[in-house]
Structure 1
Amino acid sequence: MASKAEKKEKGARKHRKSVEVIDKSERYDFSYTQNRELSWLRFDARVLDEAYEESVPLFERLNFAAIFQSNLDEFFMIRVGGLSDLATLKRQPVDNKSNLTPAQQLELIFSTLPPLIRRQNDIVERIEASLAEAGVERVDAADLAGDDRTFVERYFQSYVSPVISPLVIDPRHPFPNLRNGALYLVCALESADEGNLLGLIEVPQSMNRIVAMPADGGTWRYILLEDVILSCLGSCFGSYAPLDRAVVRVTRNADIDPDGEGVEEDEDYRQHMKKILKKRLRLQPVALQVQGELAPATLKSIRKALGLPAHAVLSYTTPLDLSYIHGIEAHLPERSRSELLFPPFKPQASPMFDATRPIREQVIEGDKLLFYPYESMNPLLDLMHQAAFDDSCISMKITLYRVAKQSRLCESLIDAAENGKEVTVLMELRARFDEQNNIEWAERLEEAGCTVIYGSEGFKCHSKICQITYRDGMALTRITLLGTGNFNEKTAKLYSDFMLMTAHPGIGEDANAFFRNLALGNLAGDYRFLGVAPAGLKPLIMNGLNREIDRARAGEPARVFFKMNSLTDREVIDKIAEASQAGVDVEMIIRGISCLLPQVPGKTDNVHIRSIVGRFLEHARVYAFGVDADIVYLSSADMMTRNTEHRVEIAYPVLDATCRSMVQEYMRAQLSDNVKARVLSSEGTWQRVERGADEMPFDSQAYLLKHAYAQAEAAAERAAQARQDAAAQEHDGYEAAEGQPTVAEAAPDSPAATAVRATIIEPEAEPAPAAAPSPDAPKHALAKRTPGRLRAGIALIGMGLKTLLTGTPEERAKHKRS
């Protein structure tokens, strides 16, 4: 038995520990914050809501259900995986937004999940039933009969049976490693001689998962490969008879730190990343998904073999992996495609560019802003291609995080290197789930002669920046490209993002310094115009908030507008709460996680948060300060601690008045949305935007899409009119050629060349509206336009041809007299 002294010491230790916990909890005010994981699950539930939205085309609703499931898979691999590791620690860290330990957060997650999964099962079943009525039917294994069963059995014997490898699991054959995300058929096996046997078959990933079934004209029927195997399971295990059966899928922890695994001194970093990717397939399981019915004893043996608790088993009545739906879109009946899918859409030409002129010239004349996916990425791609073959281009530098598998941009980098340009590519190999694609591109770029470097240890390079340098004589010109999203042709058609193209000298100097610092591993560089994480981005945001706080405390109007994907950084959250309490109006659009709760009395009364989930993924990050948004920054970074302190990110100012007005128009449209927008309540739930009785529905994405089409059409009409005017001027010049006798007389009419400067030091003022003319003002006749160089030149050519064919005026007069 313990002595009194030992008991007293034990009690003292418990008291000290409780005091430590109290001290930690008192460091933060949890009244206006919520747990990150719970906030994320509520966001994914919002995605699932779109599957229930009957105004969305039927097949697109199925796609939203697939996105919900894909999001959940990644959540398990990263967030649940990371928390599971932390939950094994003897002294677990406490979350600074909810004061929960990792073990408590896992309990919260698994208690929240079952209703969400039931909702997913329910809506997928309902959508599939409606699709069957529209002519697209998925056949279930349980529904096979007659000719359908005969077809499936023959298909299985001919194509599937030679490929699969059934396993019998018994004491002599232990439970194998189940690959992360792969589908397996599992069943209990009946044997006269042995007990507790399991049968296991992996669904081969080398085969097409969709198997077309015989169908009448006008319909398309299919069965999934796992259902083909399931229906023929009785012939797979010889003398063993299958009993209960189900499709299962294991999700494993993928939250592995490549830098924490240790890189050998002589090891190629690409080879190191390849080993990390293989290791990810075998990490600790965090969840088991089951479609079908298994006996409790069977399920328990599988769960124990995987080392999973009972609450980590998730039951489904619909397919475990909905990614197959992308393979059936092409088979939708023509008669109903327009009803089942969103209307086809094509990113439009930006009205800021003239397709007939070199992109470089146009960017030097003034900043340009592309707005994906409403506007096409082509001007950027054309600029890169033109630079690759431009003799005056001497270097190209770029950071790449996620790249399309087939990338025009990367091909231009290869062309540039092969044409003798200096091409430097910082390829981030740690972009989660895009590592393999990035490794392959890094190898191709290096083979072509590009200098390929990788991010600093412990700091992913998430910034999106490119700089092209030209030399004309002794003068250097830099064009800098800065984005809120990746240099990725595929996502540029799906994600809402901004891309700034500028020749601003100050931004160019900062960008040049940024690439130089990256090459040297210096993450604390000094910049005039750019806010660069991990050292300079958060202070920039905090300074902007402080400016508005000072204005509010001085009795002046004060406002900030933030748009981001997630908000989790505790310092930024507390500063926003301070701004609210000072009287600053805080408007935010946060697509995903918001650990800040708005409208909490006395804490965040002036904070308003909304989210927009629609056809396009909202991905742009905007940080605007001032009632009139006189300071606007775009950024690659969310206000998450990982972005502000543990990644290389960039925030860049929008200095050009026209570009800034485009961003402001975008902000106004999104804040006016009352169809796809939801408002965050003080309880952390997303609520529909209430519309007034006379208020019309307004979908901001639909408006921006329509606006892009209208702008492109207007720009095309202006270009056509300009061509007509130019042709008319050329014709007038030819007709008037006889009236311009000599070169000496024509030359003074040609205007001198005008030098173009792109230097912008401060934000430009908004253009003032033109004053309306007074009705009493005298009317002036329009001044005759002096002929330009082209017109004068054509006139001279006309004169020369006329002289050649008919002679000089003196010769013609002499000939006429004779």
Structure 2
Amino acid sequence: MSGKGDRERIYTNRELSWLQFNERVLEESEDRRVPLFERLRFISIFQSNLDEFFMVRVGSLYDQTLLKEKVLDSKTQMTAPEQLQYIYQNVRKLLPRKAKSYESLMAKLNDQGLEQVPLNSLSAQDFEFLKLYFEKEIAPLTSPQIIDKRQPFPFLKNKEIYVGVRIASKSGAVRLGIISASGHFGRIIYLPSQNGKVRFVLAEDLICLFVEKIFNRHEVLEKVLFRITRNADIDVEDEMVDVDFDYRDAMEELLKKRRKLTPVRLELSGEVSHELTEYLCDHFTLSREQVFVDTCPLDLSFVFALEGKLKGKAELFFSPVAPQIAACIDEKRSMIAQIVEKDILFHYPYHSIKPFISLLNEAANDPEVVSVKITLYRVAKDSKVINALINAAENGKEVSVVVELRARFDEENNIDWSKRLEEAGCHVIYGLPGYKVHSKLLLITRKLGNKIQYITQIGTGNYNEKTAQLYTDLSLMTANPAIGTDASVVFNSLFMGSVVESSTHLLVAPLCFKPRIIGLIDKEIAFAQQGEPAQILLKMNSLTDKVLIDKLIEASRAGVHIKMLVRGICCLKPRVPGSTENIEISSIVGRFLEHSRIFVFGLGERQKIYISSADFMTRNTERRVEVAAPIYDPAIQKEILHLLGIMMKDNVKARVQDMYGIYTYRKNEEEPVNAQEVLYREAYASAEQKKNMPQPPKALIQEKRNPHGFWKRVMRLFHR
């Protein structure tokens, strides 16, 4: 696979594959089966994704163009400039499609009672209302500036919208006036209702409409809304070469620096003159290729604020659903006792995260619990997980927390939480030098007389109550002492500042994950070469690790049947004769973000199943601390295979990748299967069935009490 033709035939460039994923998000806005307002929401998600892509991935490629030595993509051998060219070309194809979808949806929503009022056809009454609003509510809060020799170009914030005006000058040169379109005023301005219709305009459009009133001493030749996107790709380790620093303080300084990094994109809200475009490009040191013209709002985040104005319009939204308490859970019993009895698996968002929060709260108050250890990557703004940890520390438990301050764009939130945890008496560390801690691992240690008992939780997603309702993730809870011992080794290594060098049951990156995965694939290759049935089932967010990709190609050539669900980036093309003909790849993009990682190797009695925090990406397998857990419980194994089977039958939201890397909806003669809807229906059905089951007598569900528990409670009363 050394020739360029072979590489193009088998591999897909990472950045182009990501753009394909975001195109699938945009497709959701075009899908007539999706309710109207939800389709509008998907356009906003598409744009938000694209913003982050430019900040991180395009920013990284831009940095590579500044290096003396060429940096080549390991799979396609494309240079950074070549990749940027492909990105710019593909984005230009997607933007008109986004604008068309936005305009179409707003026209349909207009018929449903929501109107973005066009400013070029205002009625006299609306014009007077907006003029008065502008003069009283917005104009006094603006800070206009004209750029000249005495007024240098101001610093423009990342992704913030500005109104730019070209002002006439005696010399004929471009003179630019700038006003920030955000400030101490709301972005959405509601007009008086007509026939019950919700009518609005955006603040930036209103400022642009009346901008001549601000620059009233000058002749305004043209005006435009624009924003810049800045590079946000900072290498934390390179920035922190001094060993004598406070890591949290250094991260706070790093965040300030990120806000001032180089622009990598300029967006304009319509065509403007060559002179003004050149002026802006010269100032921001951008080429014309980095300028993108959009005809719909430059920032669509306002969409989410409109939802509250459409109450009573249920047909515009997905049917409301609520996470269900897993059927295996008895809410009246101790969570710890139930986990000791058998392993428990939650599948979010179909199952509620509440029992997991109950587990943490129970651990905080259980006299037998001596320590709670956890890794935190992204947590909710008002985190019940954090509150439970603080409660545990205040109750005298040893609480050790690994807070990853380098969780991109969640750094500030994590810095704030780390301070609160430390103030409560928790032992907090901030990950390892050179490695992000991305694992989702919890270890509760109990001392029962002379015995130690571990309660271990391993997940595929963050300890975040909000995303647990939006992302599909798996959470395994077990009292298996061997898994608990491995988890203890992971935490001991982290707090000693090192990585795990060997583990028995858990697969722990960076040293004990990829080699074990390769070994599991090799076993299937060996079975296939002996003429035995061989199978691999994989579900993940992204596939970019070339070593693992090449191993999967080797397995395919050996006759191993491989089925993969890869939601996002996929650098491998399936069904290529002679290489990947035994590989099938599909992607599900729907109401919930597919986020769980599942690895299945083999069939029958030799089948091994893992859930993992890691994707098959080089950053996960080599530069992060990740954990994959084996599934030993037969009932949970069956449950995971069941949900995988449903997802692989999806013919509503699944797209299948062909040998050319093109994704198309899976179409067959089978009954329609929307996997996410099926799994939610099953969760509801299980909860209803559990509700209708006869309840055992109370005496049968009371937990075995600690004989000394009563006297401990009495003693605590005297110490209050």
Which TM class, normalised by the smaller chain length? over 0.9
Cα offset, 1:298, TM superposition:
0.7
Cα offset, 1:176, TM superposition:
2.2
Select which of 691, 698, 701 maps to 2:673.
Answer: 698
- Residue type at the aligned position of 2:54: F
Which deviates further from its counterpart, 619-628 or 542-551? 619-628
Q: Does 1:455 align with 2:417?
A: no
Q: Residue deviations 1:631-688, cap 9 Å, x none?
A: 0000000000010001110111011111111111111000110110010011111012
Select which of 48, 71, 90 maps to 1:70.
Answer: 48
Indicate if the aligned counterparts of 1:141 and 1:230 stay in contact, CA closer than 8 A: no
Cα offset, 1:282, TM superposition:
1.0
Alpha-carbon separation, structure 2, partners of 1:677 and 1:26: 31
Select which of 40, 43, 55 maps to 2:21.
Answer: 43
Select which of 131, 151, 167 maps to 2:145.
Answer: 167
Alpha-carbon separation, structure 2, partners of 1:559 and 1:365: 32
Indicate if the aligned counterparts of 2:11 and 2:573 stay in contact, CA closer than 8 A: yes
Q: Does 1:722 align with 2:700?
A: no
Indicate if the aligned counterparts of 2:373 and 2:400 stay in contact, CA closer than 8 A: yes
The equivalences for 1:373-772 within 5 A come to: 373-628=349-604, 630-692=607-669, 695-718=670-693, 721-723=694-696, 726=697
Q: Does 1:96 align with 2:71?
A: no
Alpha-carbon separation, structure 2, partners of 1:297 and 1:325: 33
The residue matched to 1:301 in structure 2 has which SS? helix
Q: Residue deviations 1:395-438, cap 9 Å, x none?
A: 11000000100111100000011111100110000000101100
Distance 1:140 1:546, change over 3 A: same
Q: Residue deviations 1:519-552, cap 9 Å, x none?
A: 1112133211011000011111111110100000
- Residue type at the aligned position of 2:398: E
Alpha-carbon separation, structure 2, partners of 1:229 and 1:263: 46
Indicate if the aligned counterparts of 2:373 and 2:399 stay in contact, CA closer than 8 A: yes
Alpha-carbon separation, structure 2, partners of 1:385 and 1:223: 46
Cα offset, 1:192, TM superposition:
5.0
Select which of 117, 132, 135 maps to 2:110.
Answer: 132
- Residue type at the aligned position of 2:597: R
Alpha-carbon separation, structure 1, partners of 2:647 and 2:130: 50
- Residue type at the aligned position of 1:710: A
Alpha-carbon separation, structure 2, partners of 1:26 and 1:689: 30
Indicate if the aligned counterparts of 2:564 and 2:584 stay in contact, CA closer than 8 A: yes
Q: Residue deviations 1:339-369, cap 9 Å, x none?
A: 1000011000101110110101000001000
Indicate if the aligned counterparts of 2:188 and 2:202 stay in contact, CA closer than 8 A: yes
The residue matched to 2:526 in structure 1 has which SS? helix
Which deviates further from its counterpart, 139-148 or 539-548? 139-148
Match of residue 9 from structure 2: 31
Indicate if the aligned counterparts of 1:347 and 1:373 stay in contact, CA closer than 8 A: yes
The root-mean-square deviation of aligned C-alpha atoms, in Å, is 1.8
The residue matched to 1:299 in structure 2 has which SS? helix
Alpha-carbon separation, structure 1, partners of 2:11 and 2:347: 33
Aligned length: 702
Which deviates further from its counterpart, 265-274 or 607-616? 265-274
Alpha-carbon separation, structure 2, partners of 1:405 and 1:621: 25
Alpha-carbon separation, structure 2, partners of 1:67 and 1:591: 15
Provide structure 2 residue ranges, at least 5 long, that are not aligned to the other structure.
706-720
Match of residue 739 from structure 1: none
Alpha-carbon separation, structure 2, partners of 1:485 and 1:433: 17
Q: Does 1:155 align with 2:108?
A: no
The residue matched to 1:162 in structure 2 has which SS? helix
- Residue type at the aligned position of 1:233: V
Alpha-carbon separation, structure 2, partners of 1:431 and 1:363: 30
Cα offset, 1:205, TM superposition:
4.0
Indicate if the aligned counterparts of 1:514 and 1:525 stay in contact, CA closer than 8 A: no
TM-score in terms of structure 1 length: 0.84
Alpha-carbon separation, structure 2, partners of 1:369 and 1:433: 30
Cα offset, 1:225, TM superposition:
1.0
Alpha-carbon separation, structure 2, partners of 1:290 and 1:195: 21
Alpha-carbon separation, structure 2, partners of 1:441 and 1:141: 44
Alpha-carbon separation, structure 2, partners of 1:31 and 1:230: 49
Indicate if the aligned counterparts of 2:58 and 2:264 stay in contact, CA closer than 8 A: yes
Indicate if the aligned counterparts of 1:199 and 1:242 stay in contact, CA closer than 8 A: no
Q: Residue deviations 1:747-798, cap 9 Å, x none?
A: xxx9xx999xxxxxxxxxxxxxxxxxxxxxxxxxxxxxxxxxxxxxxxxxxx
TM-score in terms of structure 2 length: 0.95
Select which of 342, 351, 358 maps to 2:327.
Answer: 351
Match of residue 709 from structure 2: none
Select which of 98, 102, 109 maps to 2:87.
Answer: 109
Match of residue 765 from structure 1: none
Indicate if the aligned counterparts of 2:9 and 2:660 stay in contact, CA closer than 8 A: no
Match of residue 189 from structure 2: 211
Indicate if the aligned counterparts of 1:163 and 1:204 stay in contact, CA closer than 8 A: no
Alpha-carbon separation, structure 2, partners of 1:24 and 1:343: 51
Alpha-carbon separation, structure 1, partners of 2:498 and 2:246: 22
Match of residue 229 from structure 1: 207
Alpha-carbon separation, structure 2, partners of 1:58 and 1:627: 43
The residue matched to 2:493 in structure 1 has which SS? helix
- Residue type at the aligned position of 1:604: T
The residue matched to 1:293 in structure 2 has which SS? coil
- Residue type at the aligned position of 1:271: D
Alpha-carbon separation, structure 2, partners of 1:84 and 1:487: 34
Which deviates further from its counterpart, 48-57 or 226-235? 226-235
What is the percent sequence identity of the aligned residues? Answer: 44
Indicate if the aligned counterparts of 2:544 and 2:571 stay in contact, CA closer than 8 A: yes
Indicate if the aligned counterparts of 2:137 and 2:185 stay in contact, CA closer than 8 A: no
Q: Residue deviations 1:439-480, cap 9 Å, x none?
A: 110111111111110111111000000111111222221100
Q: Does 1:54 align with 2:32?
A: yes
The residue matched to 2:490 in structure 1 has which SS? helix
- Residue type at the aligned position of 1:674: N
Distance 1:452 1:55, change over 3 A: same
- Residue type at the aligned position of 1:715: K
Alpha-carbon separation, structure 1, partners of 2:351 and 2:368: 28
Cα offset, 1:25, TM superposition:
5.9
Match of residue 17 from structure 1: none
- Residue type at the aligned position of 2:200: Y
Alpha-carbon separation, structure 1, partners of 2:246 and 2:371: 26
The structure with more radius of gyration? 1
Alpha-carbon separation, structure 1, partners of 2:133 and 2:704: 74
- Residue type at the aligned position of 1:722: Q
Which deviates further from its counterpart, 704-713 or 255-264? 255-264
Distance 1:391 1:117, change over 3 A: same
Indicate if the aligned counterparts of 2:518 and 2:548 stay in contact, CA closer than 8 A: yes
Which deviates further from its counterpart, 706-715 or 85-94? 85-94
